[in-house]
Structure 1
Amino acid sequence: MFESLFKTVVERISSGKRYEKRASNAAFTRQLADAIRQLLHSSDNCDKLGLPPNPSKEEINKAYHRLARLLHPDKNVVPGGEEAFKVLVGAKSALLKSARS
């Protein structure tokens, strides 16, 4: 799945094509591809959000908002994006349950 996603990303970037959704343009970027890969292939929730072990609630929320702006299904239609967003929400929820103040 990852190879297919990455191949599609590279092809789209190389050709300059963009996906369109509801009159807005959403293009594949390296940042977007890296975020999807990180969320789908990391082993624990801190890694998924790019956080150190035992993050504070503030750190969790900041990382979540950074990734949510990039991955939100209303903002892009890239393959794997919707699944990555669901993983992001789940990781945030799990981390907030055990976070320090």
Structure 2
Amino acid sequence: MYRVKVVWLTENEGGRRSAPPIGRYYPVSRFPEEKTDWQNNAWSVVFELEKPNVTDGRIVSMGCVQFLFDTAPEQWMTKYEAFEIYEGPRKVADVLLIGN
């Protein structure tokens, strides 16, 4: 798993009403590599989230992430510094990969 900082969008920005609870969370990812038709080719990810905190007025969760499937492009987790996560068509957060 890869260490991450998840910065949640506010409800006014189209994000969630609140951050998910501590534990596992299963959204879909969008990496910079995925330009067009990404919804049909998106990769599911699984997070182990810690208790969210408020930092600079933003809700932030620390945790770890990995792709849900072994066939996913694992190299993206080290190639990129960040990616987005979605619940259906709705972007809910920006994910910063720590250590990349």
> TM-score when scaled to structure 2?
0.26
Alignment TM-score, normalising by the size of structure 1: 0.25
Larger Rg over CA atoms: 1
Greater strand proportion: 2
